[in-house]
Amino acid sequence: MTILGNRQLPLLPPDAVGAHTRASRDPMTCLFKCGNACDQPEPNRSGNPHLQDEIARVLGRRRVLQGALLGGATLVLAGAATEDAAAAPTADRVRRGSLARTWFRPVRPNRRDAVVTASGFTSSVVIRWGDRVLPGAPAFDARRQTVAAARRQFGFNCDYVGLVPLRERTDEALLVVNHEYTNDELMFPPGIYTDDEKRALSMYNHGMSVVRVRQGLVPGSWKQVTPLRRAPENRRINVETEFRLTGPVAGDPRVRTSADPRGRTILGTLNNCSGGTTPWGTVLSGEENINQYFDAGDGVPEEYAEEYARYGITGEGKGWSSVDPRFDLSREPHEPHRFGWVVEVDPSNPSSVPRKHSMLGRFKHEGANIIIARNGRAVAYLGDDERGEYLYKFVSRDRVDRRPTRAARRHNLGLLGSGTLHVARLRGDGLDDDRYDGTGRWIPLTSDRRSFVAGMSVADVLLFTRLAADRVGATRMDRPEDVEPNPVNGRIYAALTNNSERGTTFPVDEANPRGTSMVRAEPGAPLTPAAGNRHGYVLELVEDRGRHTGLAFGWNLMLVCGDPASAETWFGGFDKRLVSPISCPDNVAFDSSGNLWVSTDGNALGSNDGIFRVPTSGLERGRVAQFLTVPPGAEACGPLVADGDRSLFFAVQHPGEVTGATFEEPASTWPHTDDFPRPSVCVAHRDR
Ligand code: FEO
Ligand code: CA
Ligand code: CA
């Protein structure tokens, strides 16, 4: 039995979740989220070295830029990470309501079935799984779910959280959210739905939501705009939504299907993990573990054996082909090539056709985050979230048009259609200086007109980007997730979540230095050694001379995560006695002072996951302070600092996803509105 709080959970039989021991995530999360990727041999067999403004229209960014102009980067933070070490804040150090500047006492590791915020702050739910998004949606009833209802309700397992301002008013904005994956065990009461009904409901619980929100009465709080007729932008993007494929792969024979003989119109987006809000007011979203949706009724077609293998497409899908034959590889071998892209949605126009940008390459995209380089080009940073995969950068051919005109907007919406895609190679400096650091090179893979990889065409490189990156000797990293430019200091921060096989299958090197880790079964339990890099890193990348369009960069591991009591950890040089334990960084964000905000997924120190604030400059650089924790089984997603640093939006994804838990025997009932858990988007802010 697994004991959580005062609940006793019957365990699922081992074969229900696989003999899964390698990741710090709960095995149930591994099964449903990524198709047990950790238990498959890593698909990267390359043998590569393992070294390792209109921008101001966007609400959060505008304030970030204002913060930068006001010299926010030099502000003093005061976050003490242990209660014993906490010093009382002085009045001038606290600017009420500013998440960037307010002192808070860090939250201790815990297993509570709650969102626990730092004292002085609180959080509220903005929208839950099943809540109404479109007019005509029925009230959610888990026992009477229908596809027609799911098409109008908030989807399951919210991940990326973006906030796009409205032109006409500043107290309202558009919340854009990804719905990454589904979990039959936690979504469906037993004995009600047939297998095909579950599959269809799961399909329509994927995708994205656009929801108009407004400021609440308490500063920093936000709620959904109702009645829904006052929210004309609200939208559910799902498995039947039309997307237009852009860039060099559009029309390629390998993306043509019987339903789309021209290879330009794709139905749906799947496994949307993280994303980014563009300076021109759209949202980018990464299609991540797309390999797990395709069945192989009559076997996997030989024609694409190598390509499928490199992407982990085995034909062991979710059985969706019984509902929609396009998910059967033997009938539609090209359907997988239509997923694994970065998609762009214009939330301000609910009838716009969203796009899939082939120019940003095809892999297990975590997200895409853009900075406008000094020369005006849009630069997107990208991560491929799997063990041993790569970091990428896209530089647009054209410059952003900053004029507030319709023509400028049309121009900017085309920026991601042409440019150059690069992959990163990192070298350690080899010095025994107690720093994991070195230099690196962005290796061009292809432009929209010319491939730089011998033997591969432009379309080859973009369709099978992993194979192209293998050939140029890119550096295999420990699960690159969010990769995001800090708008205050211009540096790039990448969350490298973990790799349980680093030190065994994957040799250690200076960029990926940890082969064993000290882990904990639960808060307060002793630290014990475990193979691999269990806690991950935060990589800081400094573009040469601050030119984001260049090819050379420097790097260092700003955080080697884990318990500060372990010798293996490093917190940017900050006093380890004063920092919070942190494990498995996943998503990153920035406030107006350039502080890093990190959410975690898969705590290997026995605590619930959470969100942390980390100064990136000054005397407090590296002072990791835990701001909140999420319920058992959940990962924390987002995060997003908005509304002048008064609001922290975040998603609580897969609450209660603990092996053995079911709809009827849940491991969490958060947010405690029902007798089962509901993934939800929340906002944290001052409590008064
Ligand atoms: Fe969906 Fe990379 O986590
Ligand atoms: Ca070094
Ligand atoms: Ca993630």
Query: Does residue 585 have a cis peptide bond before it, meaning omega lies within 30 degrees of 0?
Result: no
User: Is 180 touching ligand 1 by the criterion CB < 6 Å?
Assistant: yes
Q: How far apart are CA 76 and CA 619, in angstroms?
A: 8
The ligand that comes nearest to the alpha carbon of residue 386 is: 1
User: Is 385 touching ligand 1 by the criterion CB < 6 Å?
Assistant: yes
pLDDT of residue 473: 96
> pLDDT, tens digit, for every residue of 271-289?
999 999 999 999 999 999 9
Which pair of structure tokens corresponds to residue 605?
A: 């120190």
d(CA 427, ligand 2 centre) in Å: 10
User: Is 384 touching ligand 1 by the criterion CB < 6 Å?
Assistant: no
> pLDDT, tens digit, for every residue of 242-277?
999 999 999 999 999 999 999 999 999 999 999 999
501 half-sphere exposure, CB direction, 13 A CA radius: 18
Q: Which residue has the higher pLDDT, 227 or 81?
A: 227
Asked if residue 55 has pLDDT above 80, the reply is: no
Asked if residue 133 has pLDDT above 80, the reply is: yes
- For residue 48, the Cα-to-chain-centroid distance in whole angstroms is 25
**Within-domain flag for 600:** yes
- For residue 372, the Cα-to-chain-centroid distance in whole angstroms is 21
Lowest mean pLDDT among 6-10, 85-89, 92-96: 6-10
Atom of ligand 1 nearest to the CA of 159: 1
**Within-domain flag for 304:** no
Residue 8's pLDDT band (cuts 50, 70, 90): very low
Atom of ligand 1 nearest to the CA of 364: 2
**Within-domain flag for 34:** yes
Supply the range of the domain harboring residue 620.
2-288+340-686
Q: How far apart are CA 592 and CA 658, in angstroms?
A: 36
Residue 32's pLDDT band (cuts 50, 70, 90): confident
**Within-domain flag for 329:** no
Q: What is the value of pTM for the model shown?
A: 0.90
Average pLDDT over residues 443-454: 98
Atom of ligand 1 nearest to the CA of 366: 2
- For residue 186, the Cα-to-chain-centroid distance in whole angstroms is 22
**Within-domain flag for 483:** yes
Q: Tokens 């959580």: give the residue.
A: 4
Average pLDDT over residues 472-499: 97
User: Is 643 touching ligand 1 by the criterion CB < 6 Å?
Assistant: no
Query: Domain of 500: which CATH number?
Result: 2.120.10.30
Asked if residue 502 has pLDDT above 70, the reply is: yes
> pLDDT, tens digit, for every residue of 399-442?
999 999 999 999 999 999 999 999 999 999 988 887 899 999 99
Q: Could you tell me which of 139, 346, 137 has the C-alpha nearest to residue 237?
A: 346
Residue 672's pLDDT band (cuts 50, 70, 90): very high
Q: Which residue has the higher pLDDT, 582 or 54?
A: 582
d(CA 273, ligand 3 centre) in Å: 6
d(CA 385, ligand 1 centre) in Å: 6
Atom of ligand 1 nearest to the CA of 635: 3
**Within-domain flag for 651:** yes
pLDDT of residue 63: 33
Count of domains observed in the chain: 1
pLDDT of residue 15: 36
User: Is 651 touching ligand 1 by the criterion CB < 6 Å?
Assistant: no
Q: How far apart are CA 585 and CA 566, in angstroms?
A: 17
User: Is 273 touching ligand 1 by the criterion CB < 6 Å?
Assistant: yes
Write the DSSP assignment of 486-529 as a string of letters: -TTT--EEEEE--BTTBTTTB---SSS--SEEEE-SSTTSPPEE
pLDDT of residue 579: 98
pLDDT of residue 430: 87
pLDDT of residue 49: 67
CA dihedral 120, 126, 130, 135 (to 10 degrees): 160
Atom of ligand 1 nearest to the CA of 383: 2
pLDDT of residue 334: 98
d(CA 410, ligand 1 centre) in Å: 31
Give yes or no for a contact between 96 and 678, defined as CB atoms under 8 angstroms apart: no
Name which residue sits closest to atom 3 of ligand 1, judged by CA: 273
**Within-domain flag for 593:** yes
Atom of ligand 1 nearest to the CA of 481: 2
d(CA 405, ligand 3 centre) in Å: 35
**Within-domain flag for 682:** yes
Query: What rounded mean pLDDT belongs to the chain?
Result: 89
